Structure 1
Amino acid sequence: MIKAVIVVNNHGKARLVKFYQNVSGVEEQQNVIRRIFQQVGQRPDSFCNYLEGSIPEWGDDVKLIYRHYATLYFVFAVDKQESDLGILDLIQVFVEALDKCFENVCELDLIFHSDRVHYVLDEIIMGGMVLETNIVNILQAINDQHKLHLASNKVQPVTTQAVGRGRPGPQVARPPPGM
């Protein structure tokens, strides 16, 4: 099971945090993020991307699997039953999906479009379980959601009448049926 997905920059600032196993309290969550960054951020790029460790809030049954892209660490905290290569592939799928959504994703996209980033992650993982790994299906769901979002933001014109003094208010044309 996936316990958390954490994206931090090279300075340890969290850019995306999603806990799937409960960590009560903001201070405990900050401690978990700090411990994870301390373990991952100090490793040279030539080392492997798997790290077995102990996070006191989760016990000794934790593996940190991560990828370092440019200025960001994408870290998945998982239990020991998860496949290391499977999670590395999942990180790759997540980053590819973000890259397609934001046309060359960068740290600022994660900051200013956190709602869309969380939506992409929710298409891949829900409740600590992997839902989808096929990038085509993930992108199709994201595109469908984007179309729904655009359709819901269209303003529906309404005919109004001014109240009082008998003067008509501004008239707004109604769209033809089917739009």
Structure 2
Amino acid sequence: MIKAILVFNNHGKPRFLRFYQRYPEDMQQHIVRETFHLVSQRDDNVCNFLEGGSLIGGSDCKLIYRHYSTLYFVFCVDSSESELGILDLIQVFVETLDKCFDSVCELDLIFNVDKVHYILHEVVMGGMVLETNMNEVITQVDAQSKLEKSETGFSATSGRAVSAIKNMNLPELPRNINIGDLNIKVPNISHFV
């Protein structure tokens, strides 16, 4: 099971964090610092997995990471996960981000955190791997983007309708309508528009 997914830059600044176990915020910060210290001290020509830090599971936990340009992508997993499978999963996640953001960078992760969370939820949810096919993930992300755009169109349409009604030059409506025994009071609609 995946316990956490951490993305931080070369200076240890967190750019994206997802914990699948509950930790207080100060403990999360300690985990990020410890993980950065463990991962950043490693030489580039050694393997990309090591025993987890003392804070996130000790000897039962493994840190599996990849370093791309200025970002470290670290998956903290328990001993039941395959190291090579998680390395491939990191590759799928990064390539999907790269396709969705046209060459992903730190700023994409910072300013589009909702979209990054959505992409991650298509790949991993609740610490369990859902999808490893990058094309399927991209198809779902594109469908979500189309849905968001269509919803934006609906809200813009209703906004235009309200402003059109406001700009209409309507004659003054009568306040009381009497039809035989029926007396109808017409509310003032100017405060509705």
Q: TM-score range by the shorter chain?
A: 0.7 to 0.9
TM-score, length of structure 1 as denominator length: 0.88
Write the mapping of 1:142-161 to structure 2, written as runs, cut at 5 A: 142-154=141-153, 155-156=156-157, 157-158=160-161, 160=165
AA of the residue aligned to 1:134: N
Shift of 1:165: 6.5
State the match for 1:166 in structure 2: 172
The answer to whether the 8 A contact 1:50-1:66 is kept is yes
Once structures 1 and 2 are overlaid, which stretch shifts more, 56-65 or 122-131? 56-65
Deviations 1:118-177 (A, max 9, x none): 11111100000001001111000000000001001111242525698629x9xxxxxxxx
| RMSD, aligned α-carbons | 1.9
SS of the counterpart of 1:65?
strand
Q: Could you say which structure has the larger radius of gyration?
A: 2
Write the mapping of 1:28-177 to structure 2, written as runs, cut at 5 A: 28-154=27-153, 155-156=156-157, 157-158=160-161, 160=165, 166=172
The answer to whether the 8 A contact 2:51-2:61 is kept is yes
SS of the counterpart of 1:74?
strand
> In structure 2, what is the Cα distance between the partners aligned to 1:82 and 1:74?
17
> In structure 1, what is the Cα distance between the partners aligned to 2:124 and 2:54?
21
- Percentage of pairs with the same residue: 53
AA of the residue aligned to 1:135: M
Greater percentage in helix:
2
State the match for 2:186 in structure 1: none
SS of the counterpart of 1:44?
coil
Gaps in structure 1 of 5+ consecutive residues: 170-179
> In structure 2, what is the Cα distance between the partners aligned to 1:57 and 1:131?
23
> In structure 1, what is the Cα distance between the partners aligned to 2:58 and 2:52?
9
> In structure 2, what is the Cα distance between the partners aligned to 1:57 and 1:73?
17
AA of the residue aligned to 1:79: D
TM-score, length of structure 2 as denominator length: 0.81
